[in-house]
Amino acid sequence: MTKNSLLQTSLLFVVTLILVMSLSILSNRIWGGKPEQLQQVKKPQVELEMTISQFGQVNELPNSVLKEIFELKAKSDLEKKLNEYGTPGQISDKVMKKLALASEHGSKNWIKIPVKFGLWFVFLATIYFLLRKRKVTPRLRKWLLSISLLLFGVVMGSDPNPMGTIKDAIHLYGTTHAIFPPRLIALAIFLAIVFLANKYICAWGCQAGTLQELIFRINQTDTQKAVIGKHLKLPFVLTNTVRFIFLCVFTLVVFTWGIDIIEPIDPFKIYKPGYLGISGGIFLGALFLASLFLYRPWCQLFCPFGFVGWLVEKTSLVKISVNYETCINCQKCVTACPTTVMDALLRRDKKTIPDCFACYTCRDICPTDSIHFSIRNRTFPPVDFFTKRHKDPAISK
């Protein structure tokens, strides 16, 4: 590693983060006002002897909201007693559900969301075409990742995103028992993309994923070597266990205390720096620094969508597979793969296959075109495959 390349990589890393944050602040100002994140709904004060009108005054709820919550027909209904509407627990539940859904609806930008999904489809389809045509060079990969994070993160904002659809759905249900249908539709679309083509949405469309990947690729030469330090590959059993425990703890804490432990350290807040606290800033700084050496640390170790997507990935139609008739066991794909998945895919000796982020690095590096990203089923290597000598067609020519 030369002094120059070290300086260049460090500078690129810092400039990328500064650019993302400063442009995001600008973009948030242009789009204006909408918080685009879950608001905490306070538990209302309920006494059964109160009239609805008194209940509204105590909890600062306008008559229009009361009318909707209690389905009032006439103004005189405001004088009805709360005890006609159930127990304090039932009333409190009903009010919180309605308020949570109203606040969810009000916090979203309903023009931006469909436009963003439309752009996602066009962008992902374009990348798929480029990848199939083998046009994605290491340099172009960095540009595509930059365009993706600029478009879907900086310009279109942090919401919606694959992780948020799961995290916020658990939080909303855990704290208010409410279900917000538009979020479930978004989640279904993201999971449908995983069902169609592996972690394709994570690879090329997710705002936090593409930023981590860009940082990882910034610290990589065209021959897949790290510029600074070393690239690490953690064992999948470790990363997946941490990710699963994190999801369980998150869910437990939400359902028990109503606290969202991801919120302060949410990596998507890099596109909403105004909402980032000190602990979040420190965590994200460490996370993005770690991305230089570890492929997508958030995705591998913490992301709830990463875990759920990994489960759905088992049924993906289009996926990476190896053709053992032409493969020469040169192991180039295993070395080039940023995680341990290609090793598991090539060997087929483990029951659990790690996440494949559909980055195509393995396919691009294969000298015999033996790796496919297609609908074909994965086969197993012949028994003597790893012991016999394979002829390299490039050498035998």
List residues binding ligand SF4 (CB under 6 A): 162-163, 202, 206, 208-209, 296, 298-299, 303, 305-306, 320, 337, 339, 341-342, 345, 356-362
> Residue 348: which region, alpha, beta or left (left: phi > 0; alpha: psi -120 to 50)?
left
Of 70 and 307, which has the nearer Cβ to ligand SF4?
A: 307
Q: Closest distance between ligand SF4 and the C-beta of residue 229, in Å? A: 20
Which residue is it, tokens 């204006």? Answer: 32
Of 174 and 297, which has the nearer Cβ to ligand SF4?
A: 297
Of 91 and 337, which has the nearer Cβ to ligand SF4?
A: 337
Tokens representing 44 are 């209302």
Q: Closest distance between ligand SF4 and the C-beta of residue 139, in Å? A: 18
283's enclosing H/E stretch is helix 278-290
Backbone φ and ψ for 100, nearest 5 degrees, come out as -65, -45
Q: Closest distance between ligand SF4 and the C-beta of residue 383, in Å? A: 23
Task: Of 151, 129, 131, give the one whose Cα is nearest residue 141.
Answer: 131
Of 99 and 191, which has the nearer Cβ to ligand SF4?
A: 191
Q: Closest distance between ligand SF4 and the C-beta of residue 361, in Å? A: 4
Distance CA 207, CA 193 (A): 16
Q: Closest distance between ligand SF4 and the C-beta of residue 135, in Å? A: 16
Of 85 and 250, which has the nearer Cβ to ligand SF4?
A: 250
Of 69 and 341, which has the nearer Cβ to ligand SF4?
A: 341
Q: Closest distance between ligand SF4 and the C-beta of residue 322, in Å? A: 10
Q: Closest distance between ligand SF4 and the C-beta of residue 66, in Å? A: 39
- The residue length of the chain stands at 397
33's enclosing H/E stretch is none
Q: Closest distance between ligand SF4 and the C-beta of residue 394, in Å? A: 21
Question: What percent helix, strand, coil does the chain show, rounded to 5?
Answer: 60, 5, 35
Of 112 and 372, which has the nearer Cβ to ligand SF4?
A: 372
> Residue 229: which region, alpha, beta or left (left: phi > 0; alpha: psi -120 to 50)?
left
Distance CA 55, CA 66 (A): 9
Distance CA 32, CA 307 (A): 33
Helix (H, G, I), strand (E, B) or coil at 43: coil
What residue type is assigned to position 315 of the chain?
A: T
Of 66 and 365, which has the nearer Cβ to ligand SF4?
A: 365
Q: Which residues, in sequence order, are bridge partners of residue 81?
A: 51
Instruction: Report the residue closest to ligand SF4, judged by CB.
Output: 209
Distance CA 113, CA 357 (A): 24
Of 157 and 162, which has the nearer Cβ to ligand SF4?
A: 162
371's enclosing H/E stretch is strand 371-374
Q: Closest distance between ligand SF4 and the C-beta of residue 310, in Å? A: 9
Backbone φ and ψ for 57, nearest 5 degrees, come out as -65, -45
